[in-house]
Chain A
């Protein structure tokens, strides 16, 4: 068989093997929240004829709520009672256990044989009121996703903020050294389960960025020898080379309506920000300064592009109207501020904030001008806001290995997501997938 066929087969084999060998992310709470809401998620009755999955729906829901730092789910072994319907709830028991909220439910076959119904009810233990009574239907194989949706509903009901448990994260993992070094772009559930390699290369990959519909990822790849920007459909694997000119092709960022891609190009002699119309391929230059202008970020209302520039000496965050105009400086505190991520309400940006040799994640409230450092460092970077603004995913170091961590937007809760192999970096939290 010819060389191209051989290469293709090896590439496919490699992708398959890497998926099998790849271990999931582990989550560990480093610092909890003293005012977490006590909740009991009773294991759901399994009413389907199909074999029970290894991890029950209730367990996934409990883990999600626990991970948010705002809930304290009751441990299985402390569940002295397991009511199956509203009538069998003995509220006195739950008050004694100091539980504020109670969830019961069942999983049964969906009508029409299309999958499963997750039937659930959420009660306030003190008022004995039914807070939620719903059915979430999912296809076969999507039970975890269904459980995440239920956790989202509970989170929203009890905190007023939409949940982000049924979202996904993208990240880059690097393994090996020297000639055996390999890079992969992974997409996993927001809890780290089910990582899928989207693309792999012996050359560096960086800067993954989600399209607003959660279907595509833009990223930078050095597979052609120089940096180039690709846009790839996550489900089909099909991809398009979007930019590969001379110089840097970097930092792609989809606009909120998905029609444009902001990016950094340096073919004119120094890195500038451009906006490319994805339908026509036309691009327009947004910055024009001899400094390094990079890491563009759209405001949620599409009116502004925030970016990193060292036009004032060292990197700081600036912004310019997406329609064009004069740039103005946004970050005022600190020697180094770069790679902004913006909250969904557009009022706060998270940045990599440097002082001396130490880099931490800080959040600037643009309304008040106050900047708050959220992480201990010392090599923290690539902050990425959850689509509900509640948490920030970022890259940090543990010894010589890169790992991902998540910190709550108020800094009270921090978690480490540990990959059991590989050097992990560049996380990107997906939008909510409807």
Chain B
């Protein structure tokens, strides 16, 4: 009995030591070391993905786990208020823009096909301005933001039903510079 426990203990210790060994190189390549020169290539292949909640990191634009990768805000019919469920996305982009003075964003506003085209240009712009307003309040500077409305002219789908209409009522957050 005693020897079985000793073996088990040895095994546990061995596993613990080997676990410790593999975590050590990870801490060496952590984000806190970004100011040091990067280690050689073999280290890069095992480097960690950016923290998806670091909204100042440009790598998160392509990281599907990060809110920065979400760049379309949807709206209710005839409305231009940014719904609660999209506020976090807007806040993430605001954080990026505020932290990166070279960032330039165009808010492209759209509407669904119902109603007249020129009025829908106005509606698209109102939506773009709603997002732009939230970005400003959260630290983006005016010179970094632009709003362009396409009204109903650039639909993503062309079916006359609620599903398609809801996809067209949107603002696209387009970075013209990062």
Contact = CB atoms under 8 A, between A and B. Distances in A.
Given A336-B115, A357-B114, A359-B114, A292 B148 contact: no
Contact of A226 (B118, B148, B160): B148
B147 to A, nearest CB: 7
Interface in B156-178: 158-160
Contacts of A294: 118-119, 121-122
Interface in B101-136: 113-119, 121-123, 125-126, 129
Contacts of A381: 115-117
A117 interface: no
B121 A295 contact: no
A287 interface: no
A176 to B, nearest CB: 12
Contacts of B147: 247
Interface string B134-150: 00000000000011111
Contact of B150 (A207, A222, A271): A222
Nearest to B123: A292
Contacts, number: 85
Contact of B125 (A266, A295, A338): A266
A426 interface: yes
A352 B116 contact: yes
A397 interface: yes
Contacts of B154: 204
Nearest to A401: B158
Contacts of A246: 146
A314 B78 contact: yes
A354 interface: yes
A227 to B, nearest CB: 7
B115 A247 contact: no
Given A222-B153, A292-B126, A397-B160, A250 B118 contact: yes
Interface residues of A, number: 39
A308 B121 contact: no
Contacts of B119: 292, 294-295, 308, 310, 315, 338-339
B88 to A, nearest CB: 27
A247 B125 CA distance: 8
A352 B118 CA distance: 12
A294 B123 CA distance: 11
A248 interface: yes
Highest count of chain B CB atoms <10 Å: which of A177, A225, A339, A397:
A339
Contacts of B159: 400
A270 B149 CA distance: 12
A226 B114 CA distance: 21
A382 interface: yes
A336 B120 CA distance: 13
Given A264-B118, A294-B122, A379 B149 contact: no
A206 interface: yes
Interface string A197-235: 000000010110000000000000010011100000000
A342 interface: no
Nearest to B149: A248
Contact of B117 (A270, A314, A379, A426): A426
A315 B115 contact: yes
B118 A339 contact: yes
A338 B158 contact: no
Contacts of A204: 150, 153-154
A429 B113 CA distance: 23
Contact of B115 (A177, A206, A359): A359
B123 A382 contact: no
Contacts of B153: 204, 206, 222
A379 B113 contact: yes
Contacts of B114: 354, 357, 359, 379
Contacts of A295: 116, 118-119
Nearest to B155: A177
Interface in B44-94: 78
Contacts of B113: 379
B125 A271 contact: yes
A338 B78 CA distance: 14
Contacts of B121: 227, 248, 250, 264, 271, 294
Contacts of A308: 116, 118-119
Contact of B118 (A225, A251, A270, A397): A251
A206 B122 contact: no
A251 B150 CA distance: 14
B154 to A, nearest CB: 7
Interface string A314-339: 11000000000000000000001011
B109 to A, nearest CB: 10
Interface string A223-261: 001110000000000000000001110110000000000
Please provide the 4 A-B residue pairs with the shortest distance between their CB atoms, ordered closest to farther: A292-B122, A204-B153, A339-B116, A338-B116
30 contacts: A206-B117, A206-B153, A207-B118, A222-B153, A225-B148, A248-B122, A250-B118, A250-B121, A251-B118, A264-B122, A270-B126, A271-B125, A292-B119, A292-B126, A294-B121, A295-B119, A308-B116, A315-B115, A315-B116, A336-B115, A338-B115, A339-B118, A352-B115, A354-B115, A379-B113, A379-B114, A382-B116, A397-B160, A425-B117, A426-B117
Given A248-B121, A339-B118, A354-B114, 14 more contacts: A207-B117, A222-B153, A247-B125, A251-B118, A264-B122, A269-B129, A271-B122, A271-B125, A292-B119, A295-B119, A338-B119, A354-B115, A357-B114, A381-B117
